[in-house]
Amino acid sequence: MSVPPAPGPDPTPIPVIARALITDAQFTSCRQTILDANPDMSQDMAGRILEEALKFVAVCSRRPGVGLAPSRIVDEGWHALVLHTALYADLCASLGGAYVHHYPGYDPTNYDSRILERTREAIAGLGYTADSELWSPPTDELLVSVAAKCQHSPDCTIVVQPKPKG
């Protein structure tokens, strides 16, 4: 399975290391948000999750409409970024692509086994390496310690859809 290339050259270069997409202070603040939601998690794990979320947001911004989704554990990092609204808006703008909206939802039957593979391939297409331990299916034991209760599928991630009513 391959990810379609972006139409034309990406307008804005992105850092070789996803961690460099935000400042050290911003990284520390977002990592703390992950730790606050997951008090038994190590700082190292929270940092790994956040770095994968940065890769995810970067690839979603650059490849809108491809139908990508985070693993449940990476979704925890995405939530932390989204909660820092000004940082998140600046991050999406700095990527030079589309703003990456988050439409939460939880339906374990939505899980598409190919979606994580497609997302990892898209991340590799940007020059990043996905942390394979954190891009695992929703049955992985690592997920027991994650507070995020979202299960994304191609129908509820970056694919354009109407805003939820209510």
Q: Phi-psi category of 41—alpha, beta or left, where left has phi over 0 and alpha has psi -120 to 50? A: beta
48: which residues sit within 8 A by CB, 6+ positions away?
131, 134
For the chain, the domains span 19-145
How does residue 110 score in pLDDT terms, banded at 50, 70 and 90?
A: low
- What's the mean pLDDT in 123-146? 78
* pLDDT score recorded for residue 89: 95
Question: pLDDT tens for residues 142-162?
Answer: 544 555 555 554 444 444 333
Q: Both tokens of residue 32? A: 């703390």
CA distance 132 to 120: 8
The length of the chain is 166
Name the phi and psi angles at 116, rounded to 5.
Answer: -70, -35
